[in-house]
């Protein structure tokens, strides 16, 4: 459990918070004193996450929220404000990633559209609904969850394009809302051990050698970065992308391994 209480008195809304990164973010901010609304398209799992936080003596509620639906998003924001009295932090963790077809040209329009709608447009909808309330507090912060897929080819065309779009949206929105006292930043995770990798432990183990720090990420690694950017410790930081990826985008480990092997011959 976090030792600090940087979010005492804060109202927080986290999307995609039933499990994985979103759940870890909800827990970390609640541990630091926030009142957290856990939202997700899976209401029973969202309630499980919120209930687990309440069992720890933390303040959390759960609510169904489909970020593809404007009315659902606006209802979630209104619920957070009504329940907590204010909304200081929005964390956009909801996203959708569909495996690519073997041939690029076989990718269906509906899959492309839905991945972008959930991952990119969903973030837009949440920010649009939350901004008046965030601005009213004088300490509002938005943290978007991006991906290293926006920086290099790790597959998943639609998801990658959506995450790249989040980088641009973060920068432009940060400039647009700065005068209203709201900061907007992006966390860029590498491979993180979540339910998306369930049953694929061999793949995760194989990836370890690609990461200079020798392991894949855990949801708590991302939650710690989110907590920093959402807090007043980052009060002079906006429009930035914080890469939390164990060094995978800093070093071409495959290239280095190949060149070192050649030198050893």
Domain presence at residue 134: yes
pLDDT band at 204 (very low <50, low <70, confident <90, very high): confident
Q: pLDDT of 179-196, one tens digit each?
A: 999 999 999 999 999 888
Spot the catalytic one: 5, 48, 159, 211: 159
Rounded percentage of the chain residues whose pLDDT exceeds 70: 97
CATH code at position 252: 3.40.50.720
Taking 60 as the threshold, does the pLDDT of residue 29 lie above it? yes
Domain of residue 63 covers 11-264
Question: What ranges make up the beta strands (E) of 59-182?
Answer: 59-64, 89-92, 141-145
> Is residue 6 situated within a structural domain?
no
Please indicate, yes or no, if residue 73 is contained in any of the structural domains: yes
Q: Distance between CA 222 and CA 25 in Å, rounded?
A: 8
**10 included as an active-site residue:** no
Tell me if residue 163 is catalytic: yes
Is 1 a member of any domain? Answer: no
> What is the mean predicted confidence (pLDDT) over 155-161?
91
Residue recorded with tokens 């005492």: 8
- Residue 148 in domain: yes
Give the model's confidence band at 140: pLDDT under 50 very low, under 70 low, under 90 confident, else very high.
very high
Confidence of residue 265 (pLDDT cuts 50, 70, 90): very low
Give the residue with greater pLDDT, 1 vs 25: 25
**Contact between residue 95 and residue 18 where contact means Cβ atoms under 8 Å apart:** no
pLDDT score for 126? 98
Instruction: Answer yes or no: is 5 within a domain.
Output: no
- Say how many domains are in the chain: 1
Does a structural domain hold residue 226? yes
Q: Mean of the per-residue pLDDT values for the chain?
A: 93
Q: What is the pLDDT of residues 235-259, one digit of tens each?
A: 999 999 999 999 999 988 877 878 8
- Decide if 4 is inside a domain: no
Cα–Cα nearest to 229, from 104, 143, 116, 138: 143
The token pair at 192 is 């993180």
| Across 164-172, average pLDDT | 97
In the set 10, 124, 163, 211, the catalytic residue is: 163
For 97-114, what is each residue's pLDDT tens digit? 888 889 888 888 889 999
- pLDDT-derived band at 23, boundaries 50, 70, 90: very high
């Amino acid at each position: 459990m976090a030792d600090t209480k940087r979010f005492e008195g804060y109202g927080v809304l986290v999307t995609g918070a039933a499990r994985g990164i979103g759940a870890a973010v909800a827990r970390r901010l609640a541990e630091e004193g926030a009142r957290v609304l856990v939202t997700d398209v899976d209401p029973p799992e969202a309630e499980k996450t919120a209930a687990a936080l309440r069992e720890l003596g933390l303040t959390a509620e759960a609510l169904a929220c489909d970020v593809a639906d404007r009315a659902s998003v606006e209802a979630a924001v209104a619920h957070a404000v009504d329940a907590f009295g204010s909304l200081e932090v929005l964390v956009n963790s909801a996203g959708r990633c569909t495996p690519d077809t073997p041939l690029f040209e076989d990718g269906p329009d509906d899959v492309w559209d839905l991945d972008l709608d959930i991952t990119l447009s969903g973030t837009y909808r949440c920010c649009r609904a939350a901004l008046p309330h965030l601005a009213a507090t004088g300490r509002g912060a938005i943290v978007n969850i991006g991906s290293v897929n926006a920086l290099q080819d790790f597959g998943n065309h639609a998801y990658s394009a959506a995450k790249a779009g989040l980088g641009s949206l973060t920068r432009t929105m940060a400039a647009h809302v700065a005068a209203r006292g709201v900061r907007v930043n992006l966390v860029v995770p590498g491979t993180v051990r979540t339910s998306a990798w369930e049953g694929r432990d061999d793949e995760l183990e194989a990836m370890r050698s690609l990461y200079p720090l020798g392991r894949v990420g855990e949801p708590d690694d991302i939650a710690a970065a989110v907590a920093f950017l959402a807090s007043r410790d980052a009060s002079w930081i906006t429009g930035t992308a914080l890469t939390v990826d164990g060094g995978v985008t800093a070093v071409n480990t495959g290239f280095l391994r190949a060149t070192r092997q050649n030198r050893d011959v």
